[in-house]
């Protein structure tokens, strides 16, 4: 990988992704609510699409950070997954995915999950490659980007601990 930071910049809005999926009985766990793994898979799909839109190339998942499950999701809910870039390194891309469950009968919406998911952009040889820098559009995005450096340090320390065992 080259050492220079890519001069091209893109805003989080340019790559933001919204997916919506109706939760059906086939998505349920034995308790009758939606299985957590189904939500994690959809969150990863939304995040990877945002990462690929930003990079303009394939991106693979390398870290799923702090996935929260705040409320159960009921079968029959319309799940909304909103993915937006929060931090970018050289080849790595962090995406904040927020999940809401809508009751389509009442239009009530509950925030059910969120996660930071990290992807790495790969070139045609499957090697990590530089991605466009992130151009923040507002104060919230600037805060997320600044805090992303701290989250990266924690992630790399976890990677090194896991690899040393």
Ligand X SMILES: CC(C)(COP(=O)(O)OP(=O)(O)OC[C@H]1O[C@@H](n2cnc3c(N)ncnc32)[C@H](O)[C@@H]1OP(=O)(O)O)[C@@H](O)C(=O)NCCC(=O)NCCS
Which residues are at the interface with ligand X (CB under 6 A)? 60-63, 89-92, 118, 120, 128, 155-156, 159
Q: Which residue is nearest to ligand X (CB)?
A: 89
Please report how close the Cβ of residue 88 comes to ligand X at its closest, in angstroms: 8
Least Å distance, CB 93 to ligand X, is 8
Please state, in angstroms and as integers, the Cα–Cα distance from residue 163 to each residue in 148, 149, 155, following that order: 22, 21, 12
The two beta strands, 59-69 and 109-121, are antiparallel
DSSP 114-126: EEEEEEEEB-TTS
Nearer to ligand X, 62 or 136 (CB): 62
**For residue 137, what is the DSSP state?**
-
Measured from the CB of residue 62, what is the shortest distance to ligand X in angstroms? 4
Q: In terms of CB distance, is 12 or 77 closer to ligand X?
A: 12
In the 3-class helix/strand/coil scheme, how is 41-77 assigned residue by residue? HHHHHHHHHHHHHHHCCCEEEEEEEEEEECCCCECCC
| Closer residue to ligand X, CB minimum distance, 47 or 112 | 47
Copy the structure tokens of residue 142: 């600037």
Residue closer to ligand X (CB basis): 62 or 75:
62
Work out whether the CA dihedral 53, 56, 62, 63 comes out positive or negative.
negative
Tell me whether residue 65 or residue 71 sits nearer to ligand X (CB atom). Answer: 65
């Amino acid at each position: 990988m080259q050492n220079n930071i890519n001069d091209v910049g893109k805003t989080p809005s340019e790559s933001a992704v919204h997916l919506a999926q109706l939760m059906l009985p086939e998505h349920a766990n034995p308790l009758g609510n939606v299985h957590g793994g189904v939500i994690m898979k959809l969150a990863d799909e939304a995040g990877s699409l945002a990462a690929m839109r930003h990079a303009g190339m394939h991106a693979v998942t390398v870290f799923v950070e702090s996935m929260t499950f705040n409320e159960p999701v009921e079968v029959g809910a319309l799940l909304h997954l909103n993915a937006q870039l929060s931090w970018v390194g050289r080849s790595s891309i962090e995406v904040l995915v927020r999940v809401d469950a809508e009751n389509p009968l009442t239009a009530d919406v509950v925030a059910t999950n969120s996660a930071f998911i990290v992807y790495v952009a790969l070139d045609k040889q499957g090697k990590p490659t530089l991605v466009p820098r992130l151009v923040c559009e507002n104060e919230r995005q600037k805060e997320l980007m600044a805090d992303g450096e701290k989250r990266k340090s924690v992630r790399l320390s976890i990677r090194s601990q896991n690899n040393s065992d």
